[in-house]
Amino acid sequence: MSHIKVELKQEQITKLKEICKSFDNEAGELINVLHKTQETFGYLPAEVQEVIARELNVSVAKVYGVVTFYSFFTMIPKGKHPISICTGTACYVRGAEKVLDEFKRILDVKVGETSPDGKFSLSCLRCVGACGLAPVVSVGDKIYGRVSPDGVKDILKEYE
Amino acid sequence: MAKIKSLDDLRMMKESLQSKINLREKGEDPGSHVQIKVAMATCGIASGAKTVMEFMMEELEKRGIESVVTQTGCMGYCYAEPTIEVKLPGQEPVVFGYVDTKKADEIIEKYIKNGELVEGIIPMNYETIDNK
Amino acid sequence: METIKLTIDNKPVEVPAGTSVYQAAKNLGIDIPVLCYMNLHDLGIENKPAGCRICVVEVEGRRNLAPSCSTTCANGMVVKTHTTRVINARRTVMELILSDHPKDCLTCPKSGSCDLQNMAVKMGVRNIPGQAYAEMSTYKTDFSPSIIRDMDKCIMCRRCETMCNDFQTVGALSGVNRGFMAVVAPAFEQDLEKSPCTYCGQCVAVCPTGALTEVDHTPKVIRALADPTKTVLVQTAPAVRAALGEEFGLEPGTSVTGKMVAALRQIGFDYIFDTDFAADLTIMEEGTELLTRLGKHLSGDKTVKLPILTSCCPGWVGFFEHNYPDMLDVPSTAKSPQQMFGAIAKSYFAEKLGKKREELVVVSVMPCLAKKYECQRDEFKVDGNPDVDFSISTRELAHLIKEFNIGFNELADEDFDRPLGESTGASVIFGATGGVIEAATRTAYELHTGKTLEKVDFMELRGMDGIRSATIDFNGLPINIGIAHGLGNARKLLDQVRAGKTNYHAIEIMACPGGCIGGGGQPLHHGDTSVLKARTKAIYSEDTNKKIRKSHENPYIIKLYEEFLGKPMSHKAHELLHTHYFDKSSKDIFI
Amino acid sequence: MAKYKMHLLVCGGTSCRASASDSIIEKFKSEIAANGLENDVQVILTGCFGFCENGPIVKVLPDNTFYTQVKPEDVTEIIAEHVIKGKKVNRLIYNPEQKKGSKSKGFYRKQIRIALRNCGVINPENVDEYIARDGYQAIGKVLKDYTPAQAIDIIKKSGLRGRGGGGFPTGLKWEIASKNAADQKYVVCNADEGDPGAFMDRSVLEGDPHSVLEAMAICGYCIGATQGVIYIRAEYPLAITRLKIAINQAREYGLLGKDILGSGFDFDITLRYGAGAFVCGEETSLIHSMEGLRGEPTNKPPFPAESGYLGKPTNVNNVETFASVPVIILKGADWFSSIGTEKSKGTKVFALAGKINNVGLIEVPMGTTLREVIFEIGGGIKNGKKFKAAQTGGPSGGCLTEKHLDTPIDFDNLIAAGSMMGSGGMIVMDEDDCMVSIAKFFLDFTVEESCGKCAPCRIGNKRLYEILERITNGEGTMEELERLRNLSLVIKDTSLCGLGQTSPNPVLSTMDNFYHEYLAHVNDKKCPAGQCKSLMKYVIEPEACVGCTACARNCPVNAISGERKKPHVIDTAICIKCGACIEKCKFNAISIK
């Protein structure tokens, strides 16, 4: 894991404490707290995990253990437009890999990385359940269906 | 909403809700409306069902057609999303697939106004058990 | 109690309900190999993640093989432990585990005492198919002052995680990542130094492979011995003599004090001293501090806090610095015996030798890994020169003795050098849980009451229960004493103290199970806790056999005060023998 | 208001089109014109009727006449007799009696929607619509008329088995949980649908959330629990939103909460979110995840029914299982058990996806054949390609091939065929899919999703993947093929939880059914499906190449050289096999070898 040092502002710490409080500072609510926090902060840097650990009275190691277990949680800030390519089976047999390769080629980033300008981050996910539209790509909240490698350029153009 | 206090209350409530719906759906109510259901599950929305639903609501109102547009779950025709079901008073419901705003416009103009079928019909290919 | 009848390898067996198949087979004399499983019965710790899958057996009627360690016996169960299917599965799984394990056994510190190595030998694994293109999970090696984590060698048995979290409640480690890269690590896979680790070494004590080992100080010790400009002193902790013999095949519980001294002399240390001497000194200081605080407390001085907590154990010191920063004024300010020894050696003894402190090298032999960390703490240095230069564990000493080709078992007993080698029975029992407080009681009683203590054995303070308490009658004044060993137990006791729910006057805490005899630097017990009991017994019989059994009667201690320190808690004593503590609760927090 | 008196609906599904529905339309149109009926009769091309075996299909409205196997020659007769005279053409009318072995009781549709009964029918965000369709009548009936034991008995008699994959009898599961005494018990709904390519549970939750809530309350009453938890994937935001709405509406009506329907029974439901871990579909992992821990499984027994969430007896069922419960209560065990096969009762929802025309959500009675699902409901294979295999059970399952097409689908038959029911994903593959690559694809998934707790799954699956990669790269040996099988069997035999115990299934199943493909990769260094890049070589046929330079200009790595108007050559050492040259070549001069 790369460690980008983050200075938390006082209001951010207050916000974090509020989130923990809203789950009664229950250790059993850790995953819900992490969800809410990632929703608020966009990602889960080490400093944030430390505050959560302290508030919920669990060890920081345990919090990190949970964060790294679930693929939904990330310690790296996503790009402004997070791109996810569905690599579920339906999308796979309908050519998701080629679409992914095209994104990698054009953006020149690997899966899990963010482009140097912070604009796009690339990740894979397993099935959004829109198999009828395979292969599926999501950019932020927007879902693109029946994407072909040729269509990748057009999708990216929308965010320029 | 008031709490339902007993099974009997629930049954009565069901009867009245159902007869209302029956009136509407079977077209027994002379002043009944055109009913449109838009399949708004994830794949529907991903294919643009929301836009279609908004378009339908706006346009039907603009064009002065008494109608009820509601959302519903997945109809199963994921390959043909967005799908909508149109039910004209007194008639069997018809499902249309691949509906975009252009198609929606055609459905309003031809089917809803004139009862003239348009292409893109998806025949219902399953039996739904009635709950009785 | 309900009993269960089942058949294992065609032999009928009857076991109490709740018994595992592994245990039932063991009762029958059937040896099922286990790797991740560990049962520290006396400590109430059972590690059975059922993760290694080496102990699988065939259970009739089940589709898959069952892990015998975590499958409970059921009536009518028919178990086969060594069928072809089982053997093929075990061997294949073993090959898999080895395929993701470095093959540097030649230079691995665990070589020879490695459970994984032994298992591979036993199974006759000769090659690992596909190794040429098998990816290995690799991680950054973490060097802390006490412990080296080489997680490439981790087999995910989770024993360390269990000890760190369930037994010690330190919480430095957790399973992290997922799948192939899953491993046990501190938060953010940072170094232990940035974690709340206390270096108690209990993770090292249970690690079946070379993933967790101690930092090896023996090369530095050899270099110092080889340097003619240095005078090298060695001090040996009480618990070492009760366990060192195990490394040479002697029965656990064999006391080897004389042989150990002889071996150290052969190795070439210039002075063979005893940490026990410093333990007696600790009693003088700590006992006096207790009486002073008690006296003030009894006279109504509200600024004085009770109970007083012992501070000999560096793991425990690290624990309260991390977890109880609000209570830093509660523990005794007395340094640990190791550090008292170092301070006296490099002042009093250096003066006697007419040498500068830089010319002396003080080596300690400890049952402990936290001592390595302790001796390099800044407050224990004078102008950058540490009071104790190197600390080697019991295991490292055994390695040294073997390296010097010394026939340990044949050695004739020899005695420690003077002055810093003289000790009493009170100091020997420092090595067992309850021992420090018993030793303190022997001295404090006599100092407080002015009477001679007739019966020096305080049986009520001994035992293996995690938390114990007893009240000692100080001639009409009841003194309430609490004892805890294992940091999890310490936490329970401390939480009660913090909440003001106790009326203890003094509490002894040791980080390791059984006290120092169960330290992280001791010969590996391989999950057999009866070893700890045997060592304890050896410690107490050493005490019984001593002529002098009270610290304040140690003639060299008396002399030390006369010649050098004045009296306990004097200005000089404060300077050399007392310390202070730091709030480390936010050390590993970046914000 | 209808302008036309009559509509002729002609199936425009792919397979009907293949059997000449286009010319039927043309014929109808010309006949209509010839008879001057343009203003009275309209011909409409429709989507697939899901009855492709008997295509082409023509349906006549308003009288709902259903003609099958219509040929262009029949058009004149239909117009003359049916349209003009009003006499139906009997010989074309679908008559199920004639069809051998048809279980559909005279009904032509292959699908029966039980779990999906309200999906696509009601507005999922309006509890009134659910109530109008008998919603919450089942919990009412159970509370009023049955003891917990009686209600469990109904579920047991119905033969309902868990739809999450394992197929454990639901009634029995409830009974075990009901018999374990405790001060608190829990009902958990497993909505952590993780199989890639499966979206049954999502659709139920999005389309009919109340049915799950009602069933959980019924389960709570049966086992003695007052708390329900739905563990749902965070990747399903819409389902989460609708569940939240549904729970609130049910609470407002008192259908959840204290003293439900005046019975004195309390039951409430909360949500917990998954966070992207496939292993959490396993019940013990799921429970650990609910407790805020890493979702690692633990050895069973103890089963959750003895010691589950927070150490209390816990009953875990999946969404589809729950969704079937209220109907069973209302319509009775006998009704439900009359559907399906001897040991698998009722219906099963499948998410049909992959190389199939009608990708979608279907619900069929147990015992429906794969052929019916793929070639009728699914409308056959996309682009008229040849069917190769259908993968069921996701990464835990195996593939069904041509020889299984007529096997009735149920729990036991699928296991016998080397696959499993799984949660209901069904991915269809055609001749272009390389089965070794498919196995590799699933292993890639398993390697990523393995929790890492036990050695066989953590390391073994990685090794399986590595061997498969060697095979697809043309580096595999026969010795490795052998090892592949032994490793697979040991991983199955020794893994801690269901994930590892089933993860080698895609390997074993493809090895059983497509061993020749493995051999081709290993011995001949060829990929029969032409999918494995390392085994492909792009070659320009000198005879066909005219030297137009189009390929050379479009090659992203400049691997193609050659003079203008002279045959070009591909340097295979540089070529990255992207396929750009093939696309640009107008002369079909480039081929893959």
Catalytic residue selected from C58, C285, C286, C508? C286
D387–chain A Cβ distance below 8 A for any pair: no
Tokens of C74: 């059921």
A92 and A153 in a single domain? The answer is yes
Tokens of C413: 């007993």
Q: Are C89 and D294 in contact (CB < 8 Å)?
A: no
Nearest beta carbon to residue A35 from set D275, D425, D448: D275
Closest chain A residue by Cα to residue B78: A132
Q: Which of B25, B47, B126, B130 to mutate to test the interface with D (most CBs of D within 10 A)?
A: B126
Query: What's the rounded Cα separation, in Å, for the pair C77 and C64?
Result: 15
Query: What's the rounded Cα separation, in Å, for the pair D492 and D480?
Result: 18
Q: How many CA atoms lie within 13 A of B71 on its CB side?
A: 21
The sign of the CA dihedral C171, C172, C178, C179 is negative
Catalytic site includes residue C351: no
User: Exposed, middle or buried, C522 (CB in 10 Å: 0-12/13-18/19+)?
Assistant: buried
> Which residues from chain B sit within 8 angstroms of residue A133, using beta carbons?
43, 46-47, 78, 81
pTM for this structure? 0.90
Q: Are D124 and B77 in contact (CB < 8 Å)?
A: no
Q: How far is B65 from chain A (nearest CA, A)?
A: 32
Closest chain D residue by Cα to residue A68: D294
| Residue A58 placed within a domain | yes
Domains detected in chain D: 6-98 (3.40.30.10), 127-334 (3.40.50.11540), 347-430 (3.10.20.600), 435-524 (1.20.1440.230), 537-592 (3.30.70.20)
Catalytic site includes residue C286: yes
Number of structural domains found in chain A: 2
Nearest beta carbon to residue B10 from set D261, D331, D362: D261
Give the DSSP per-residue string, D129-181: HHHHTTTTHHHHHHHHH--HHHHHHHHHHHT-B-TTTT--BHHHHHHHHHHS-
Query: What's the rounded Cα separation, in Å, for the pair C237 and C553?
Result: 20
Q: Is the pLDDT of residue A112 over 90?
A: no
Query: What's the rounded Cα separation, in Å, for the pair D552 and D549?
Result: 5
CA nearest to B52, candidates B23, B27, B79, B85: B85
D234–chain B Cβ distance below 8 A for any pair: no
Chain centroid, CA D115 distance in Å: 14
Q: Are A3 and C188 in contact (CB < 8 Å)?
A: yes
Do C406 and C249 touch, CB atoms closer than 8 A? no
Catalytic site includes residue C381: no
CB atoms inside a 10 Å sphere around CB C35: 24
CA nearest to C274, candidates C127, C427, C166, C46: C427
Query: What's the rounded Cα separation, in Å, for the pair B51 and B102?
Result: 11
> Which residues from chain B sit within 8 angstroms of residue A131, using beta carbons?
43, 78
> Which tens digits make up the pLDDT trace of C179-215?
999 999 999 999 999 999 999 999 999 999 999 999 9
Tokens of C153: 């060698």
Q: How far is C56 from chain D (nearest CA, A)?
A: 7
Domain housing B61:
32-122
| Residue A16 placed within a domain | yes
D592–chain B Cβ distance below 8 A for any pair: no
| Residue A1 placed within a domain | no
Tokens of D318: 């999946």
Q: Are C49 and D453 in contact (CB < 8 Å)?
A: yes
Chains near B with 3+ CB pairs less than 8 A apart are A, D
Coil, helix or strand at residue B69 = strand
Query: What's the rounded Cα separation, in Å, for the pair A89 and D355?
Result: 11
Given 3.90.1720.10, 3.30.70.20, 3.40.190.10, 3.40.640.10, which CATH number is that of C98-215? 3.30.70.20
Q: Are B7 and D137 in contact (CB < 8 Å)?
A: yes
CATH of domain C3-82: 3.10.20.740
End-to-end CA separation in angstroms for chain B: 26
Closest chain A residue by Cα to residue D294: A66
Q: Which C residues, 515 through 544, put their C-beta within 8 Å of a C-beta on chain D?
A: none
Catalytic site includes residue C460: no
| Residue B60 placed within a domain | yes
Q: How many CA atoms lie within 13 A of A138 on its CB side?
A: 21
For residue B114, what is the domain's CATH number?
3.40.30.10
Catalytic site includes residue C200: no
Query: What's the rounded Cα separation, in Å, for the pair C25 and C9?
Result: 9
Closest chain A residue by Cα to residue C173: A61
Q: How far is D108 from chain B (nearest CA, A)?
A: 9
Which part of chain C has CATH 3.10.20.740? 3-82
End-to-end CA separation in angstroms for chain D: 63
Do D365 and D103 touch, CB atoms closer than 8 A? yes
Number of structural domains found in chain B: 1
Catalytic site includes residue C547: no
C56–chain D Cβ distance below 8 A for any pair: yes
Catalytic site includes residue C375: no
Query: What's the rounded Cα separation, in Å, for the pair D416 and B71?
Result: 42
Residue D261's region, left for phi above 0, alpha for psi from -120 to 50, else beta, is left
B82 CB contacts (<8 Å, ≥6 apart)?
B38, B39, B44, B47, B48, B49, B52, B97, B98, B99, B100
Query: What's the rounded Cα separation, in Å, for the pair D275 and A35?
Result: 8
Catalytic residue selected from C214, C247, C289, C438? C289
Catalytic residue selected from C313, C512, C516, C542? C516
Chain centroid, CA D517 distance in Å: 26
What is residue A78's DSSP assignment?
P
> Which residues from chain A sit within 8 angstroms of residue D383, using beta carbons?
none
Q: Are A94 and D355 in contact (CB < 8 Å)?
A: yes
Q: Are B74 and D42 in contact (CB < 8 Å)?
A: no
C100–chain D Cβ distance below 8 A for any pair: yes
D94–chain B Cβ distance below 8 A for any pair: no
Nearest beta carbon to residue C50 from set D299, D448, D462: D299
Q: Are D296 and C175 in contact (CB < 8 Å)?
A: yes
A98 and A149 in a single domain? The answer is yes
Query: What's the rounded Cα separation, in Å, for the pair C382 and C363?
Result: 16
Order across the sheet with C78-80: list the strands.
Answer: C11-16, C3-8, C78-80, C56-59, C66-67
Nearest beta carbon to residue C130 from set D298, D454, D467: D467
Do D373 and D387 touch, CB atoms closer than 8 A? no
A57 and A86 in a single domain? The answer is no
User: Exposed, middle or buried, C383 (CB in 10 Å: 0-12/13-18/19+)?
Assistant: exposed
Query: What's the rounded Cα separation, in Å, for the pair B87 and C308?
Result: 84
Tokens of D71: 């040929």
Q: Which D residues, 435 through 454, put their C-beta within 8 Å of a C-beta on chain A?
A: 438, 441-442, 445, 448, 451
Residue D134's region, left for phi above 0, alpha for psi from -120 to 50, else beta, is left
> Which residues from chain B sit within 8 angstroms of residue D199, using beta carbons?
42-43
Query: What's the rounded Cα separation, in Å, for the pair C421 and D241?
Result: 75
Query: What's the rounded Cα separation, in Å, for the pair A21 and A32?
Result: 12
| Chains C and B are touching, with contact defined as 3 or more CB–CB pairs separated by less than 8 Å | no
Q: How far is D468 from chain B (nearest CA, A)?
A: 32
Do C487 and C467 touch, CB atoms closer than 8 A? no
For chain C, give percent helix, strand, coil, nearest 5: 40, 15, 40
What is residue D183's DSSP assignment?
S
CB pairs under 8 A between A and B: 28
A85 and A62 in a single domain? The answer is no
D359–chain A Cβ distance below 8 A for any pair: yes
Catalytic site includes residue C516: yes
A85 and A153 in a single domain? The answer is yes
Residue C514's region, left for phi above 0, alpha for psi from -120 to 50, else beta, is left
> Which tens digits make up the pLDDT trace of B58-88?
999 999 888 889 898 888 888 888 999 998 8
The dihedrals phi and psi of B112, each to the nearest 5 degrees, come to: -70, -45
Do D430 and D381 touch, CB atoms closer than 8 A? yes
Angle at D102 between CA D98 and CA D108, to 5 degrees: 85
Angle of the D148-158 helix axis to the D209-223 helix axis, nearest 10: 120
D199–chain A Cβ distance below 8 A for any pair: yes
| Residue B86 placed within a domain | yes
Do B38 and B23 touch, CB atoms closer than 8 A? no
* Most distant pair of Cα atoms in chain B: their distance: 49
Mean pLDDT value across residues B3-16: 89
Q: Are C182 and D453 in contact (CB < 8 Å)?
A: yes
Digit-by-digit pLDDT tens for chain C (591 residues) are: 789 999 999 999 999 999 999 999 999 999 999 999 999 888 888 999 999 999 999 999 999 999 999 999 999 999 999 999 999 999 999 999 999 999 999 999 999 899 999 999 999 999 999 999 999 999 999 999 999 999 999 999 999 999 999 999 999 999 999 999 999 999 999 999 999 999 999 999 999 999 999 999 999 999 999 999 999 999 999 999 999 999 999 999 999 999 999 999 999 999 999 999 999 999 999 999 999 999 998 888 888 888 999 999 999 999 999 999 999 989 999 999 999 999 999 999 999 999 999 999 999 999 999 999 999 999 999 999 999 999 999 999 999 999 999 999 999 999 999 999 999 999 999 999 999 999 999 999 999 999 999 899 999 999 999 999 999 999 889 999 999 999 999 999 999 999 999 999 999 999 999 999 999 999 998 888 899 999 999 999 999 999 999 999 999 999 999 999 999 999 999 999 999 999 998 654 443
> Which residues from chain A sit within 8 angstroms of residue B78, using beta carbons?
130-133
Q: Looking at domain C219-577, does it have CATH number 3.40.50.1780?
A: yes
Which part of chain C has CATH 3.40.50.1780? 219-577
Residue C415's region, left for phi above 0, alpha for psi from -120 to 50, else beta, is beta
Domain housing A90:
81-157
Q: How far is B67 from chain D (nearest CA, A)?
A: 16
C181–chain D Cβ distance below 8 A for any pair: yes
Digit-by-digit pLDDT tens for chain D (593 residues) are: 346 788 888 887 766 766 677 888 888 888 888 888 888 888 887 777 766 667 788 888 777 788 888 888 889 899 888 888 888 888 888 765 444 443 443 334 678 889 998 988 888 999 999 999 899 999 999 999 999 999 999 999 999 999 987 789 999 999 999 999 999 999 999 999 878 778 889 889 999 999 999 999 999 999 999 999 999 988 888 899 999 999 999 999 999 999 999 999 999 999 999 998 999 999 999 999 999 999 999 998 889 999 999 999 999 999 999 999 999 999 999 999 999 999 999 999 998 888 988 888 899 999 999 998 998 888 889 888 999 999 998 888 899 999 999 999 999 999 898 888 888 889 899 999 999 999 999 999 999 999 999 999 999 999 999 999 999 999 999 999 999 999 999 999 999 999 999 999 999 999 999 999 999 999 999 999 988 888 888 889 998 899 999 888 888 888 899 998 889 999 988 888 877 888 888 888 998 87
Residue type, C420: L
Q: Are A7 and C588 in contact (CB < 8 Å)?
A: no
Query: What's the rounded Cα separation, in Å, for the pair D490 and D504?
Result: 9
Mean pLDDT of chain D: 89
| Residue A63 placed within a domain | yes
Over the Cα atoms of chain C, what is R_g? Answer: 25
Query: What's the rounded Cα separation, in Å, for the pair D497 and D288?
Result: 14
* Most distant pair of Cα atoms in chain A: their distance: 51
> Which residues from chain D sit within 8 angstroms of residue B118, using beta carbons?
44
Q: Are C187 and A64 in contact (CB < 8 Å)?
A: yes
B75–chain A Cβ distance below 8 A for any pair: no
Q: How far is D430 from chain A (nearest CA, A)?
A: 9
Do A77 and A38 touch, CB atoms closer than 8 A? no
| Residue A72 placed within a domain | no
Order across the sheet with A81-86: list the strands.
Answer: A120-125, A81-86, A137-139, A142-144
B47–chain A Cβ distance below 8 A for any pair: yes
